[in-house]
């Protein structure tokens, strides 16, 4: 496989803070240190330690607003699993976006900040009765049902919630193979999510819900995967959903909504070229209008569920270098004080990341490096291949951009390494929004 981060891009462009892989407030100070939200990486590291996830608050708020504007007329649900914290979902709420949760735990965060229930949608491919009851009890706006077993569970739960005819969507597996890593492609036939379209399962589920009238079927849902850079997969999925919908609309069913899920990709390296939200919105709007006209049915209200595309670019992880090993004729390994416990995406999805020196300037020539962690696993890689100045040494601060989504939320404690804090920066000030885990926290869980 060609190495994605091969050094074909000129150094000046690679390091450029305006290349779309850094948060919008990123600059450099007179010492060559990275500045985020008006605070230098050096100050952030001194105050909060490393590793640390830095959350650029203005960048996050602006991106929420940008999606809201670009997708005017859509319901925009922030997918909370990308990065869930009370502070973050408060910002989501303030920006007027809605929220997608998929477990009772994520719902608990929404409840903790009194996120308006009608703007919450609940997902999950194996929701327990307790989770469904918690969702009904809070009065969430939409439940996306994933299986016949779940339809049964939900129907049985309805009586204790009189007056509530729960609004549901049915998750359809449309048979589109998204152009992304196999672990995050979710709409081809051979996977666990939803009702299959080709087998007729999805149509059967629609008929069943319409027939017994216990649940209010608002429409169909599809989520084709994650980190998708083009538009073809979304277009194919929308067409298939619309064709299925039209069969029932022609017979008099309303199905007023259509949810196209999330999955919009972001730039992790200068080689990634994501579709801008405005362009994506235009393409989807036009396509849906055209298809509906061709099918002779009304246009449903559209929804999307971006997670990564909102939270991802707002996050930068800062690490301190501990060792540098030059393996002659092979490569240089730069080991940092975190690793696969704070960013498992490289190991899990073969994800590509970028890195830069964050605490000082350097005129040394660039060299190809691999940034690795401190875990006892050869797969413990943070940045597979990128360039750093050849004088990189222990004590240097490094910054890895694009870590705002699926890093803290997928973090774990391998080797009993405590998870880093999330520090929000804005206007030259910083505050912890998720505190650093301590070894005492880990010991407290072990009650034996």
Ligand X SMILES: *Cc1c(COP(=O)(O)O)cnc(C)c1O
Residue whose CB is less far from ligand X, 263 or 315: 263
What is the closest distance, in whole angstroms, from the C-beta atom of residue 307 to ligand X in the complex? 3
Q: Which pairing describes strands 27-28 and 34-36: parallel, antiparallel, or unpaired?
A: antiparallel
Q: 255 near 220, Cβ under 8 Å? A: yes
Residue 234 or 319: the one with the smaller Cβ distance to ligand X is 234
Give the H/E segment covering residue 55: strand 52-56
Give the footprint of ligand X on this chain (CB under 6 A): 79, 81-82, 100, 123, 223, 226, 261-264, 305-309, 405
Closer to ligand X by CB, 14 or 223: give it: 223
Smallest distance from ligand X to CB 83, Å: 9
β partners of residue 62: none
Residues labelled catalytic: 376
Q: Minimum distance from CB of 261 to ligand X (Å)? A: 5
Euclidean distance between the first and the last CA atom of the chain, given in angstroms as a whole number: 46
Classify the phi-psi angles of 283: left when phi > 0, otherwise alpha if psi is within -120 to 50, otherwise beta. Answer: alpha
Closest CA to 309 of 40, 9, 68: 68
Measured from the CB of residue 225, what is the shortest distance to ligand X in angstroms? Answer: 7
Distance between CA atoms of 387 and 401, rounded to whole angstroms? 14
- 123 vs 239 by CB, closer to ligand X: 123
Alpha-carbon gap, residue 78 to 112, rounded angstroms: 17
- Dist. CA 111–CA 255, nearest whole Å: 28
Residue 222 in tokens: 């599809």
- Number of C-alpha atoms within 13 angstroms, CB side, residue 15? 19
Q: How far is the CB of 82 from ligand X (least distance, A)?
A: 4
| Minimum CB distance to ligand X smaller for 310 or for 392 | 310
Q: Strand ranges (DSSP E) for 160-285?
A: 167-173, 195-196, 216-221, 257-259
């Amino acid at each position: 496989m060609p190495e994605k981060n091969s050094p074909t891009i000129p150094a000046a462009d690679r390091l450029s803070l305006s290349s779309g892989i850094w948060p919008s407030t990123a600059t450099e100070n007179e010492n060559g240190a990275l500045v985020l939200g008006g605070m230098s990486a050096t100050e952030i590291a001194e105050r909060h330690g490393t590793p640390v996830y830095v959350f650029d608050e203005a960048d996050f708020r602006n991106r929420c607003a940008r999606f809201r504007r670009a997708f005017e007329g859509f319901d925009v649900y922030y997918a909370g699993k990308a990065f869930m914290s009370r502070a973050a979902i408060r910002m989501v709420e303030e920006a007027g976006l809605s929220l997608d949760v998929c477990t009772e735990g994520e719902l608990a965060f929404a409840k903790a900040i009194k996120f308006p229930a009608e703007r919450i949608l609940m997902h999950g491919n194996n929701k327990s009765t307790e989770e469904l009851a918690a969702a009904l009890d809070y009065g969430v706006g939409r439940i996306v049902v994933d299986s016949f077993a779940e339809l049964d569970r939900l129907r049985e739960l309805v009586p204790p919630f009189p007056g509530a005819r729960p609004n549901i969507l049915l998750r359809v597996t449309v048979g589109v193979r998204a152009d992304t890593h196999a672990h995050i492609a979710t709409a081809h036939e051979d996977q666990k999510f939803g009702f299959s379209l080709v087998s007729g399962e999805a149509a059967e589920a629609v008929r069943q819900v319409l027939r017994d009238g216990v649940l209010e079927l608002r429409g169909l849902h599809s989520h084709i995967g994650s980190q998708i850079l083009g538009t073809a997969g979304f277009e194919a999925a929308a067409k298939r959903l619309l064709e299925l919908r039209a069969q029932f609309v022609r017979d008099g069913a309303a199905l007023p909504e259509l949810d196209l899920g999330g999955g919009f990709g972001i730039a992790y390296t200068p080689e990634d070229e994501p579709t801008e939200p405005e362009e994506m919105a235009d393409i989807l709007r036009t396509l849906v209008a055209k298809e509906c006209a061709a099918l002779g049915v009304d246009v449903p209200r559209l929804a999307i569920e971006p997670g990564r595309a909102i939270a991802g670019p707002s996050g930068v992880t800062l690490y301190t270098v501990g060792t540098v090993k030059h393996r002659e004729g092979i490569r240089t390994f730069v080991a940092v004080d975190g690793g696969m416990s704070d960013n498992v995406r490289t190991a899990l999805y073969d994800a590509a990341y970028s890195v830069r020196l964050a605490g000082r300037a350097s005129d040394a020539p660039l060299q190809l490096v691999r940034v690795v962690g401190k875990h006892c696993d050869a797969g413990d890689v943070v940045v597979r291949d990128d360039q750093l100045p050849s004088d990189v040494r222990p004590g240097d601060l490094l910054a890895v951009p694009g870590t705002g989504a699926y890093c803290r939320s997928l973090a774990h404690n391998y080797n009993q390494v405590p998870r880093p804090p999330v520090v929000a920066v804005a206007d030259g000030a910083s505050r912890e929004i998720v505190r650093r885990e301590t070894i005492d926290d880990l010991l407290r869980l072990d009650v034996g």
